[in-house]
Structure 1
Amino acid sequence: MDESPQLSGRFLPSKVYARWKWTVRFGLFAMPLILFLVGGFVLYLTPTKYESKAVFDYRGSRTPAEAAALLKSRNVQVDVCDALELNKRLDCDKETVVEVLTKNTETRIDAASGQIEVVVTHVQKELARDIAAELPKALDRYEATLARNAINRQLEALRLAIRNGEDKAGIHRKDLLQLISVRGEHPTDTASQLDVTASRIDWEQEFRRVTDNKSRAAELDLELASLGKFATVHTDPVIAQNRAGTKTEDSLTEVSLESLGYGLLFALLVPYLFELACPNHRRFITPVKKMSTLSDDEWSLTAKDSDLVPAGGNG
C-alpha cells in the first residue's frame, strides 16, 4: 500500500508535537526548572567581587597607553606584591599573585585629559582598595628606577671621561710648560711660535672638554636629586560597598529568562529531531485504524501479513 498520503502530513507541527508530547512537556516545564536551579546554584557559589578605582596623571616620557600597559607588567606587579606582602595575605606563591593581579586589573584612558584609570577587582574589598592605591606608586617607582639608572650610567661615563681628560690635560700642560721653558713664552722665530701655539691649543681644548663634562655631570646630579613624580594620583581608591558587575537580582532575572528560552527551544526543535531520527516507526506516522473500520482489501492484507483469516473466509 502506498504510504505517501500518510507521510504527506508527517511533519505538521500539530502531529509532531502530539506524537512527542512528553518531549514538549519536558522542554516547557522540567527543563526550565532544572536550568534555573543549576544556574541559581552556580550563582550562589560564585564569590562576590568588589571594584576599587584610582585615577592618576602620568608625567613620564611614555604615552598614556604605554604607561597603562606597564601597570600589568611583571616588574610593576612584583613590586606591588612585595610592597603589600600579597603572597602572605593571599597565602600563595608570588607567581600566582602576579597571575591574579593581571587577571583582576583593568585600565582605561581618558582621551581628553590623558588621565589613566586603574580598576582592581577582588573578593576582598580592602585588598582591592590597597592594590588600586599601590599600582600607581609602583609605576612611579619603576619609572624613577629606570630614570635613575639611565642618569647613573651617563654619570659613570662622564666621570670616566673627566678622569681621562684631566690626565690628558695634565700631560698637555706639562708639554706646554716644558716647551715654554726651552723656547720662551713668546719666541721670535716662526717655527717656535707655531709649536708653542699648537701645544697651548691642545691643552686648552682638553681643559675645555673636561670643564664641559664637569658641567654636564653637575646637571645630571641635580636632575638625579630632583626626579619628581612620574605618577600623580588625582582620585584615591576607596573601599567599595557594592559588588562589582551585575546585581544579584539582575543575575537571577537573566538566569530565569535563559532557562525559559532554552526550554522553549528544546520543546520546539527536539521533537523534530526525534521525528527525523525515527523514520521507520509507523506508530509515529499514522494512528492504527480500528479493526471494525478496515475495508475488505485491508482485511486481506492484514490476514496475509499476520496469518489470520477473517471469519467466513474459508469458503
Structure 2
Amino acid sequence: MFAAALLLLGVLVAIPTTVQSIGVCYGMLGNNLPPPSSVVNLYKSKGIGAMRIYSPDGATLQALKGSNIQLIVDVPNNNLQSIASDQSAAANWVKSNVQAYIPGVSFKYIAVGNEVIPGNQAQYVLPAMKNIYNALSSAGLSGQIKVSTAVSQGVLGSSYPPSNGAFSSDAASTLGPIVQFLAKTGAPLLVNVYPYFSYVNNQGSIKIDYALFTSPGTVVQDGQYGYQNLFDAIVDALYAALQKAGGSNVNVVVSESGWPSAGGTAATVSNAQTYNQNLIKHVGKGTPRKPGPIETYIFAMFNEDQKPAGIEQHWGLFKPDGQPVYPIDFS
C-alpha cells in the first residue's frame, strides 16, 4: 500500500502543470476594427484564454458572455476622481459594468487606472481602488474579482541589477500604501513591461538579442540569479521593489508587453514575431527570482489606426480583417 502510494505520488509529480493561456489586450482605437462578436470568436479560435479591455464596453462584455475568456477591465483614468470621492459612484460603476454581466462574463481583475503613477491623478488611485473593492464586497464579488491598478515599468527608480530594484521616490509615496492594500486583499500589481523601450532608450548598453529572448547564454549575473533576457530582469526588479515596499507576497501580473512591427527603431515584423513568440514560450517558466507561470497579456490584438502615427499604430498581432500580421502560435 505504501509502495503504491509512493508510485502514485511519483506519477502525480511527473504530470506537468498546465500553463495558463496567455492573454491579449484588446484596444479599440481604430475605425476599421471588426465587431466585438467577431473579436471574441477570433480569441476563441486562437486559444487565447484572457483579454484586457481599457474601458467597460457594453458590446464587448455582451460578446464575452459564456466564452470563459478571463477578463481584466479598466476603470478609465477619467473616472478616477469621481469614483475616489464617492462610494455610490463606485457602486454604480460595479453594478452597471460588472454585476450586469455576471455570471456570463469571467471577470478576473479590475484595473483602477492605467499608468497614472506618478502624476496628477495618482492621488485618486488608492481611494478609487478601495471604493471599487467595497462595492464588490457589498455585491459578494470581492472573493472572485481582484482590484488593482496598472503601472508602467517606469515606476522603477533603479532596476540594475534586478536585486537593486526599487520604486522611484516620485512613485513610492503613492505605491507604498497601494502595495499594502494589495498584500491585504491578495491582489497582484499589474505592470506594463516593455523590453522594447528599455532597448531603444539604451542601445549603447543593451543588445537587441537580450531584449528579444535570443541571447545564447547569461547576460547579467546578479548574485545567485543569471539573466538571459531583459523581460525577466525587469520583472525581477519589480519583485525586488515590491519586497522593499512591504509586498513580498504580492505577485506581478504583466498587464501589457509586446513589440511593434513598424514605425520606429527596431520595429520590424521579424523582431515583433520573435519577441512575442518567445514571450509566449517563456512565460510558463517564470523568472530566476520567481519560478512558475507569469500571467502575461500581449499588447495588442489589432493595429489601431486612430493612435498617433509611428510605432503606436503597429503593436497588433492581427490586421483589422482578422489576418495575422505575422504567424504566431498561442499554444
- Between structure 1 and structure 2, the one with the greater Rg is 1
Q: Please classify the TM superposition score into its range, dividing by the shorter chain length.
A: under 0.3
In terms of fraction of residues, the more helix-rich structure is: 1
Instruction: Return the TM-score normalized by structure 2.
Output: 0.17
In terms of fraction of residues, the more strand-rich structure is: 2
Instruction: Return the TM-score normalized by structure 1.
Output: 0.17
The higher relative CO (CA closer than 8 Å, separation ≥ 6) is in 1
